[in-house]
Amino acid sequence: MNDADIPQASASQPLDERVNNRSQRPSSDAFKAFMASNWAQARQQLPERDAVAGHAAARRRAVSLQFKGERLVIPAGPLKVRSNDCDYRFRPHSGFAHLTGLGVDHEPDAVLILEPVAEGTGDDAGNHRATLYFRPLAGRDTEQFYADSRSGEFWVGARPTLAEFKARLGLETADIGGLELAITKNVGAPEIGGISIRLVRKVDENIDALVDTARYNTAKDPENLDLGVLDALDDKLTEALSELRLLKDEWEIGQLKTAVAATVQGFTEVVKALPRALTHHRGERVVEGAFFARAREEGNELGYDTIAAAGNNATVLHWTRNTGRINAGELLLLDAGVEADSLYTADITRTLPANGTFTGVQRKVYEAVLDAADAGFAAAQPGTRFRDIHTAATTVLAERLAEWGLLPVSVQEAISAEGQQHRRWMPHGTSHHLGLDVHDCAQAKRELYLDGVLTAGMVFTIEPGLYFKNEDLAIPEEYRGIGVRIEDDILMTAEGPVNLSAALPRKADDVESWMAGIYQEADNQPA
């Protein structure tokens, strides 16, 4: 066909519409009327209130008290394109999830607005009234029902109505059509009766632009508007939401326990899959897949990409390619976490002998890491500082490295601020907060995080490791290609730390007998 033969309509068709060229949907009125008619009534009964609703209300109140008189805008974020017209599975921003109590699937493009009201007259006698703006379920008599592949019920299943979310969450809901006005109305300098906004930025570009435009249009001197000052206002809100998550409430602790329990099952599945993994050209992928199946069956997803790293790959801290073989005689470092439907995630690492038995040198390295973890555990007490965990764990590692003749300086020198030579073999932190994000509370101030005091209700990891690379000429050959990390999820209580992941064996002997037990039961073991 030459150019002259190309129908005009095709040449002028906008690119955005061409995605539909693979099929032709009739557009006649008769077709539309037929598609929109004769469907059973949608569900009528309202759902029960979610168990999280009261907790989420208390979190919103805590935010309200910090930002009296200001409009707070907390977006969930949009769907993100993976390729062409295929989106990634939706996952809301964690700050939004925390303040609404919404988890899996909910809700693309939604925005929570805390609207300032007279002091003490808001929700729960706070200073704001909360409204959740979202795209509610469209009726079966609409075109959206059958024609919208991103949100139509025919394509993605029924989504919530305004009344359903209101009943579940215990907060006001409104159609997303009213969002622009809700964000922009009366914006302006407080001294002239305007309302100032704070926004959780970089979650939804459209909302960022809307807020920027509103600020620009209402500024006294728009040409000299200092965006840096406004960004700093916004950052304070993001920081406050992050710090609010440093202490987990009872419901969150329950969710973290659920995530850990599913993760423990996932590790058991991996041990069962090891005999096959050892025979496969990409054994690490066999491991990754075995864990992922459990994550999807029991929870929403993975909290982060699984690290399934055998042999020297275990010395790559975030080895998520998982393309390697697993050879008998090697160690397998598995760092994996199930994200529950509520979006709380576990983050656990075990280092397993691929064929069920540690070699002498593997055991020696493993036990050093375990001793470091135990020292971290002992240092983690209510009232001690977060940073003390790392100091305790790495001091043990430096001592072992010195004992083995690997440390080029004294232990004292290595653990001094200027030394740190042991970091060649343990270059990461020992702990991080854990919750909705695997690295939770990441925008909290340093004085509340690294320098913060450990307090009942905090959940964090303890995860020392030693990583001896094949390429490391500073160590004897026998150590090379050994990477060990042991990572547990810890709940701080008034009585001290509780290891939430203690159901997975940690001691070398216990790891071996746990694996042997699984193989005995399955009558199958790695060759």
* Shortest Å, Cβ 308 to ligand GLY: 12
Select the span of 30-38, 238-246, 344-352, 443-451 touching Mn ion (CB under 5 A): 344-352
* Shortest Å, Cβ 336 to ligand GLY: 8
Alpha-carbon distance of 435 to 447, in angstroms, equals 19
Q: Does 339 contact Mn ion by CB under 5 A? A: no
- Answer whether 370's CB lies under 8 Å from 507's CB: yes
Q: Which of 50, 115, 347, 488 binds Mn ion (CB under 5 A)?
A: 347
- Answer whether 129's CB lies under 8 Å from 113's CB: no
Four-residue CA torsion sign, 289, 294, 295, 296 = positive
* Shortest Å, Cβ 318 to ligand GLY: 7
Q: What are the tokens at 295? A: 């994550």
Alpha-carbon distance of 409 to 392, in angstroms, equals 19
Four-residue CA torsion sign, 76, 129, 176, 166 = positive
Q: Which of 50, 335, 399, 488 binds ligand GLY (CB under 6 A)?
A: 335
| 431 Cα distance to chain centroid | 16
* Shortest Å, Cβ 509 to Mn ion: 23
Which residue number is nearest to ligand GLY in terms of Cβ? 335
Q: Does 242 contact Mn ion by CB under 5 A? A: no
Q: Does 347 contact ligand GLY by CB under 6 A? A: yes
Buried b (16+ CB within 10 A) or exposed e, 440-457: bbebbeeebbeebebeeb
- Answer whether 264's CB lies under 8 Å from 518's CB: no
- For residue 440, what is the DSSP state? T
Alpha-carbon distance of 202 to 198, in angstroms, equals 13
Q: What are the tokens at 137? A: 């379920």
- Answer whether 119's CB lies under 8 Å from 127's CB: yes
Alpha-carbon distance of 232 to 220, in angstroms, equals 19
In the complex with ligand GLY, the residue whose CB is nearer, 169 or 491, is 491
Residue 464: exposed, middle, or buried by beta-carbon count in 10 A (0-12, 13-18, 19+)? buried
Binding to ligand GLY by CB under 6 A, coded x per residue (else -) over 421-450, reads: -----------x-----x------------
Instruction: Write out the binding residues for Mn ion, residues 422-481 only, by CB under 5 A.
Output: 461
Instruction: Write out the binding residues for ligand GLY, residues 304-333 only, by CB under 6 A.
Output: 304
With contacts defined by CB under 6 A, how many residues of the chain interact with ligand GLY? 7
In the complex with Mn ion, the residue whose CB is nearer, 187 or 253, is 253
Q: Does 288 contact ligand GLY by CB under 6 A? A: no
* Shortest Å, Cβ 229 to Mn ion: 36
Q: Which of 335, 374, 488, 489 binds Mn ion (CB under 5 A)?
A: 335
In the complex with ligand GLY, the residue whose CB is nearer, 167 or 393, is 393
Which partner, ligand GLY, Mn ion, none, binds residue 304 by CB below 5 to 8 Å per kind?
ligand GLY
With contacts defined by CB under 5 A, how many residues of the chain interact with Mn ion? 4
Instruction: Write out the binding residues for Mn ion, residues 362-391 only, by CB under 5 A.
Output: none
- For residue 398, what is the DSSP state? H
Q: Does 339 contact ligand GLY by CB under 6 A? A: no
CB atoms within 10 A of CB 324: 21
Q: Which residues bind Mn ion (CB under 5 A)?
A: 335, 347, 461, 487
Q: Which residues bind ligand GLY (CB under 6 A)?
A: 304, 335, 347, 432, 438, 463, 487
